[in-house]
Structure 1
Amino acid sequence: MRATLYGGPGDITVGDRPDPVIQEATDAVVRVVLGCVCGSDLWYYRGQSPHALGSIGHEFIGVVDEVGADVSAINRGDLVIAPFTFCDGICVHCRGGWFSNCLNGGGFGNHGIDGGQGEAVRVPFADATLVTVPGAGFDEPTLASLLALSDVMCAGHHAAISAGVTVGDTVAVVGDGAIGLCAVIAAKRLGAERIIALSRNASRQALAQKFGATDIVPERGADAVERLLEMTDGIGVDAALECVGTGQSMSTAFGIARVGSVVGAVGVPHDVVVPIETAIFRNIGLRGGVAPARRYISELLPEVLDGNIDPGSVFDYATDLNGVRDAYRVMDERRAVKSLLRIGSV
């Protein structure tokens, strides 16, 4: 099969990989329909995080081609969403709902598992990991939104859930990437009355407003904190959603959070220092982490199928495997929010 291969910083190519086969009775082989490039893939692309050489990509939807002897909930021909981590569904962490921390799980594109930026993937623990999409005949926008459920929509939702967003809240979203934009969707869905998106990019500002942002703040750093405090009469926001993972974004989130609130952080941390004195003396909490996507997909899937949310709009660049290098490049240069890869057919 053909697949995207990571050869080191800046080195993205398409090459051949062995066709995946059933190795365990709990496996399934999924033929990929749509994959995409994640913001976290850019950390590897830029050489700021390590990644094993070879297959890459952890977000995909596809059609089941084969199932192992012990797979009972997933059938050949099913259209499925693969959360960005696989899980056994029975360990102590999975039973607690923390599927992304499964004791026997891992991420696609690692652990000897092919990534989702290729033509097929062997999925361990298929019954526990994969989510079947009911129905058929989905249009391209719906398929894109289903793909968004594999990671970014769930990550944005996790930021909002972690921060305790509830009806009537004033919420600020720090970060205008795909996860930040999906966090706007999540905050709106949970009933926030005022949603302030921090963005200085015109197209991303427009998308944030489409998703439910009521205010846009283009400033960054100390200027952003000053502006947010002015907008909230010096009190701060009920929930700050940190969706970037840099020191500045974390500092901003804590600087704008009101006393007694919680910062919901899902950005992959790079050179982040939590301002512990602010946390202690202003009674501000910190929650978040790697989103338990498998838990959230079941909740969010009906919202996509009913047309209530449209996270697929974060994909503003599309290509096929032949164009995967450009898919990385346009995101790295911030000319696209998120790149979609059309790989197969339903």
Structure 2
Amino acid sequence: MSIAAFDHPFLAGLLGDAEVGAVFTASADLAVMVRFEAELAAAEAEAGLIPAEAATAIAAALADLRLDPADFRGAVARDGVIVPELVRRLRAAVGPVHGASVHKGATSQDVIDTSLMLRLKSAAAILERRLEALIAALDGLASAEGSRGLSGHTRMQRARPITLAHKIAGWRAPLERHRARAAEMGPRVFRVQLGGAVGDRAELGSAAAAVADGLADRLGLARAPRAFHVERDGIAEFGHWCALVAGSLGKLGADVALMAQNEIGEVRIAGGGGSSAMPEKCNPVGAEILVTLARFTATLQSGLDHALVHENERSGAAWTLEWMILPQMVVATGAATRTALDLIAALRFHV
């Protein structure tokens, strides 16, 4: 066992996802936060809130800046967030003439939440691409093997005959719906965050809307008419989507594990898991892992729903809970899509 199964030296091969996990590294987070500050300055200069030369100086200084995430450990332990120390360093890098224009009108949550939105958007693109690949793989399987006859089972009891195509259709259809959900939820979830101290953008004055919209456009995020500092339904919705994807793939895994039982023998998994005690066994490892990941994401979703309760205009407690839960859910969903693709390719039907 490990406290970090997703990037553990050997458990990561079973449960991790390097491509999705890269989105949640400290280096990736820090790089996006620095980008936020540069683009915020550009949007504020465009709106006339800071001088154009200040935005140019900020962009130049931050483009060459090299920061080590480990250097912020003590500051985060002290402040609870990275941003106060980050802003101090960015202002020092920009210099005294234009340093005060860095982070103007923003608050720590604006930086951290916008970084999260950009990285979640990247992770969602990976997952959507894999959903397309899974649908194509299932279509290929149905075309090649779908006419095979199986015994249907209801409530774990033998029922009427079905075809393999019928069972595959039950795996495929939810994935199509998840793709449609992803496209529909994107503008609601992947929004810019800019609210200032208490979420009302008061520090930006009459330029608030122009700055927020300009920042969104520059970052490739949806515009947000107001800050969502304590309106976390978008975070919960994305978590629910992850749990739905993982859950549907868990259903596939459960079916395959049952079909691969010796006494059923409807499918064999090529390259399946070996046993230290019984060399003749072929354990349905990938199928089991899909079930595990489905149950894991469903369990964590409850915690993410608890994080909907933010007190007043900002909550440190609920916000930190999101940081602990959401990345695990997204990486687990990535691992589920990766595992499902490998599992489908390994199925060998002989009924």
Considering the TM-score relative to the shorter chain, is it more than 0.5? no
Output the TM-score relative to the length of structure 2.
0.22
TM-score (norm 1): 0.22
Q: Which has the higher strand share?
A: 1
- Larger Rg over CA atoms: 2
